[in-house]
A and B are shown apart, each in its own frame.
Chain A
Amino acid sequence: MEYIVSILLSGIAVGGQYALIAIGYTMVYGILRLINFAHGDVFMVAGLMMVYLNAAGLPLLLTIPAVLVLTVVLGFVIERAAYKPLRSAPRMSVMISAIGVSYLLQNMATYVTGGLPQMYPTIPILSDSVPLLGSNPKVVVLVTPFLVAVLVFGLTMLIGHTKIGMAMRAVAKDFETSQLMGIKIDRVISMTFIIGSFLAAVGSMLYFTNYPSIVPLSGAMPGLKAFVAAVFGGIGSIPGAVIGAFLIGICENIIKGLPGMTVFSDAFTFALLIVVLVAKPTGLFGEKATDKV
């Protein structure tokens, strides 16, 4: 019983962390039709920023907002430098540019860290353990689903009920008509990257608190899984990405918990991707076409 509870809890927590990354993938795809391969690495860089700012002696109360702000700046700069100049280029070019940014970030991280694992600072309270139904999870495991729920709710409100949200929906549908409405599409696209990076930074704090250290490739696997989650839920759809992420997180942990199956947990995730792509290429909540001629 304790075992099942602890597996479910950590599944939900990991799912929530994937969800925060997956939203970044799905929003950028929704607007630019671009799979932002650098997103997982932005997540990793957010983790490293935490390490270095903390090592520089900044108090945690300042480090956390600083990491959030710096990650947002990073996401913004990546879009302006690597994607915006390619706005009218074929989609393939932008995707290759994204792969380039991904490698750039990984290699810069290797250069800065010397390739050595860096100890992730402990965030007090989040790293503490609490007894619950016989298991002993860290506070972060319990906090994650609630924090994710609050952030997703906030995001849904932003997109559904504010002017910038309306502009985002318009740009996602139709660049040119949005421009005719007077919407500055570059601003809307920047805003998308800002939101995505912010959520990735929050996700990195929750995720790495569960792990002792961080290496330059730490972003690759969670990034890939979040991407699978986004595809699973129907890329372009925010609720889809969140639900997909929770499903993947939970399934993955259940498989990890089965005797002798631990090594297959990653394989399971990707097998799931293949099944989804074959059976329902648009994912659970994939875009429906309401075009009427």
Chain B
Amino acid sequence: MLKISDLKVRYGGIEAVKGISLEVPEGQIVTLIGANGAGKSTTLRTIAGLVKPAEGRIQLKGEDITGLAPDKIVTQGITLVPEGRHVFPDMTVLENLKIGAYLRKDSLEEDLKWIYDLFPRLKERSWQAAGTLSGGEQQMLAVGRALMSHPKIMMMDEPSLGLAPIVVKGIFDIIREVNRQGVTILLIEQNANMALKVADLAYVMETGHITLSGPGQELMKDEAVKKAYLGK
């Protein structure tokens, strides 16, 4: 569904992404794992339109979306849950969800109900300022907010960052559930163990290159991956 070919991204003189190609098939959970500074976040930010690529193409269902503005990318059905959640702290939970649907003009009732069913916690806290939520709740809100745009693909940047292990497990359950309901997921993680477990397809990224790819379960057994990312 999403196809990236020979993508290169530069910040000033530094090349952060050095010509990567990857594919995200419809309905799957795809993960991109790698160490700090491998270029994972840059890749997602480029797809989202926040950064313009130097070279290469990004296609959604065969249509070229390279270098479109972020609002156009959202309209195309791609959304990004940013690293560190970035909920709007002074707005209520409900307002945060509504702003996720900023570009939509149709009724939001059904979708709000959908999100509240997925995350009953958010319903309880609907009128609370988002800044007062716990880290895990903020991550739920960030996911809910992203889903309000009706995405075909939801990209997630380090959803487990800074969360307690039990909460991380909850977040990954949610990722699976959202995927089961028809949303394709592109996930980047440093928590390679969790990510590989849920992933249908995984890519390993190192200093701007993709060095390895394959089904998540298979990569978990790969000796090099085990050594570098799973600590075994």
Contacts and interface: CB of A to CB of B under 8 A. Distances in A.
A291 B135 CA distance: 11
B166 to A, nearest CB: 19
A255 interface: no
Contacts of A291: 89, 131
A292 to B, nearest CB: 6
Contacts of B50: 176, 179-180
B178 to A, nearest CB: 17
B131 A176 contact: no
A161 to B, nearest CB: 10
A182 B145 CA distance: 12
B129 interface: yes
A192 B91 CA distance: 19
B82 A177 contact: yes
A169 interface: yes
Interface stretch (B24-32, B72-80, B113-121, B167-175): B72-80
Interface string B59-102: 00000000001110011000110100010111100010011101
B99 A166 contact: yes
Given A179-B70, A182-B71, A290 B129 contact: yes
A159 to B, nearest CB: 12
Nearest to B72: A182
Given A176-B82, A180-B74, A290-B131, A163 B88 contact: no
Query: Interface centre among A163, A174, A177, by most B CB within 10 Å?
Result: A177
A167 B91 contact: no
B132 interface: yes
A218 B71 CA distance: 42
A184 interface: yes
Interface in A160-200: 163, 166-167, 169-170, 173-174, 176-177, 179-184
B149 interface: yes
Interface residues of B, number: 31
Nearest to A167: B102
B103 interface: yes
A184 B98 CA distance: 16
A234 to B, nearest CB: 14
Contacts of B98: 166
A292 B86 contact: no
B33 interface: no
A169 B79 contact: no
Contacts of B82: 176-177, 180
Interface in A252-276: none
Contacts of B145: 181
B17 interface: no
A282 to B, nearest CB: 15
B161 to A, nearest CB: 11
A37 to B, nearest CB: 28
Contact of A167 (B69, B80, B99, B129): B99
A293 B132 CA distance: 10
A166 B131 contact: no
B48 interface: yes
Contact of A173 (B75, B89, B132, B162): B89
A180 B83 CA distance: 12
A181 B90 contact: no
B71 A183 contact: yes
Contacts of B132: 290, 292
Nearest to B155: A180
Interface string A111-146: 000000000000000000000000000000000000
Given A180-B48, A180-B82, A170 B131 contact: no
Contacts of A182: 70-71, 74-75, 102-103, 149
Contacts of B149: 181-182
B59 to A, nearest CB: 20
| Cβ-closest 10 pairs across A and B | A290-B131, A182-B74, A182-B103, A179-B70, A182-B71, A177-B86, A290-B89, A181-B102, A182-B102, A181-B99
Given A170-B91, A176-B86, A290-B90, 7 more contacts: A169-B90, A174-B88, A180-B70, A180-B74, A182-B71, A184-B71, A292-B132
Interface of A: 163, 166-167, 169-170, 173-174, 176-177, 179-184, 290-293
29 contacts: A166-B91, A166-B95, A167-B99, A169-B90, A170-B91, A170-B99, A173-B88, A173-B89, A176-B86, A177-B82, A180-B48, A180-B50, A180-B70, A180-B74, A181-B99, A181-B100, A181-B103, A181-B145, A182-B70, A182-B75, A182-B149, A290-B89, A290-B131, A290-B132, A291-B131, A292-B132, A292-B133, A292-B135, A293-B162
